[in-house]
Amino acid sequence: MEIKGSRIESLRKDLSRLLGGGKVRTEPEDLLAYSSDATRYYAQGKPEAVVLAESVDDVCKLLRYANQYAVPVTPRGAGSGLSGGSTPIKGGIVLDMKRMNKILEISKGNMTARAESGVVLANFHRAVEKERLFYPPDPQSMDVCTLGGNVACRAGGPRGVKYGTTPNYVLGLEAVLPDGSVMNTGGISVKQANGYNITQILTGSEGTLAVITKVNLRLLTLPPDRKTLIIVCDSAQLAAEMVSRIIYEGVMPSVLEYLEVGAIWLMNTYSPIPVAQDGQVYLLIELDGTAAVIAEDIGMIKSLSEKMGAREVKIIEDKKQADGIWKARKNLSPLILRIFQKSISEDVTVPRDRIPEMVRAVREIGALLGVPTGMSGHAGDGNIHPGVQLYEITPEMEQKAEEAIRLMIEKGIELGGTISGEHGIGLHKSAYIEKELGKAQIELMKRIKYAFDPKGIMNPGKIWTEA
């Protein structure tokens, strides 16, 4: 079977015959909808077909076909990524995994779960919490993002400060290799020491090695209580210094967020009960555990805040207000776009004790280039998301924004940080990855890629810049 004539029409016929017409989309509006992830400014090419897989067998058939005819395949969860990772820049086929959305098992005895890769994270949270179990990873897009996408991008979230990120919970995977063969890695045991850790090689591989179809995840017990508090500071320097001091003093918040006053103003437009805007920078904190442990932690935070000169510690007693604050925080990125035409959110992560330097550098870069910059992020683990916002999109401002991003990333690396704490590399960071990892590591990654995918059909053009 050769792809002749109109490639789109040929793909439609071939894939419909192979999988059934109800699983194949080739209409222009469908192809446009799959042309990028949440970073719309990376819509650099449209697919020639979209396949909505419903089973592992569908994935196997598709990959055998694509591998035989060297057709690019871009795996996709919900398309909520922020690195251009699911943008089909080489055309070909987008493989949509959202129909594979069954939770297969929740084991209270083993405290593990098995699920298909298209399960929406928020649905998974609700299901395990009904069993009084807890799956901590909580990226801001959790209402739409999928487990497979989370694994493929090593997704993080605010709770990473205490509980770690997605890779800390992945025990095993079912994955389909580019030749259509099925591979099961790891298992459901919480301890494994059996050869190369292929599970973790696939975790963070961004669809460039194989298609993840099922995931085995470790669970924890659900914390019995939670409390929200806000530390109000008069300067970015003080707030940044307090982040590492809070943890050094023995308090481990489940969430520790850094927010500037502009972010609080935006969140107040969304939250039903606003937060008083009486400071310049705010640390938004969630504590979890028993009531006694939370009370002790609050006492320590109040004492430290007084010693360091924070303006105030607000304890949010009203559950409705607390829920509103966290919901507004989760929606901060779309709220920003109410004011700015374009917002570029970076994913630089630095050691906690270097946050003050990074905060100063971001402000200096913005002043130097004359572009609005800001930060709001998961400061508890150093992932502070510096960014650039543009009131208008012009060639001059685009150039300045690009230069600001370059300087921010280079500063993060200089401070011992990483170019991506949780979003992945995709297209957005590919120009910078060698600067952090070095040529030797990149060449090794390319050899691993070739071992999995010798024809180069899996999400081509991602992670590193192709020559």
pLDDT at 115: 98
Provide the pairing of β-strand 49-52 with 24-25. antiparallel
| Res. 245: pLDDT tops 90 | yes
Question: In the numeric block, which tokens belong to residue 229?
Answer: 């508090």
pLDDT at 7: 82
pLDDT at 337: 87
Q: Which of the 8 DSSP states describes residue 179?
A: T
Query: Which residues on neighbouring strands pair with residue 51, listed in sequence order?
Result: 24, 95
Average pLDDT for 314-321: 95
pLDDT at 21: 86
Provide the pairing of β-strand 133-134 with 220-221. antiparallel
pLDDT at 345: 85
Place 5 in a pLDDT band, splitting at 50, 70 and 90: very low
Between 374 and 407, where is the model more confident? 407
Place 265 in a pLDDT band, splitting at 50, 70 and 90: very high
pLDDT at 428: 87
**H or E element, residue 113:** strand 112-116
| Res. 247: pLDDT tops 70 | yes
| 301 neighbors 231 (Cβ within 8 angstroms) | yes
pLDDT at 1: 42
Going from the N-terminus, what domains does the chain have, and what CATH number goes with each? 103-221 (3.30.465.10), 225-332 (3.30.70.2190), 340-414 (3.30.70.2740)
Cβ-based neighbours of 84, under 8 Å, separated by 6 or more: 36, 37, 39, 42, 44, 426, 427, 428, 462
Place 333 in a pLDDT band, splitting at 50, 70 and 90: confident
Place 465 in a pLDDT band, splitting at 50, 70 and 90: confident
Cβ-based neighbours of 97, under 8 Å, separated by 6 or more: 53, 75, 76, 77, 117, 118, 146, 148, 149, 211, 213
pLDDT at 89: 93
pLDDT in tens, 380-400: 999 989 999 999 999 999 999
Average pLDDT for 236-253: 95
Average pLDDT for 450-463: 97
- pTM reported for the whole predicted model: 0.94
Question: In the numeric block, which tokens belong to residue 64?
Answer: 């055998």
Place 3 in a pLDDT band, splitting at 50, 70 and 90: very low
Average pLDDT for 293-317: 97
Average pLDDT for 370-389: 91
pLDDT at 168: 97
Instruction: State the average pLDDT for the chain.
Output: 94
Q: How far apart are CA 63 and CA 213, in angstroms?
A: 13
Average pLDDT for 215-224: 98
**Which segment of 217-221, 272-276, 448-452 scores lowest on mean pLDDT?**
272-276
pLDDT at 467: 47
- Work out the angle between the directed axes of helices 7-19 and 56-68 (0-180°, nearest 10): 140
Place 2 in a pLDDT band, splitting at 50, 70 and 90: very low
pLDDT in tens, 161-201: 999 999 999 999 999 999 999 999 999 999 999 999 999 99
Tell me the torsion sign for CA atoms 6, 8, 9, 15: positive
Cβ-based neighbours of 206, under 8 Å, separated by 6 or more: 83, 85, 152, 153, 424, 425, 426, 459, 462, 463
% of the chain surpassing 70 pLDDT: 98
Average pLDDT for 414-430: 94
Average pLDDT for 423-445: 94
pLDDT in tens, 38-48: 887 666 778 99
pLDDT at 43: 62
% of the chain surpassing 90 pLDDT: 90
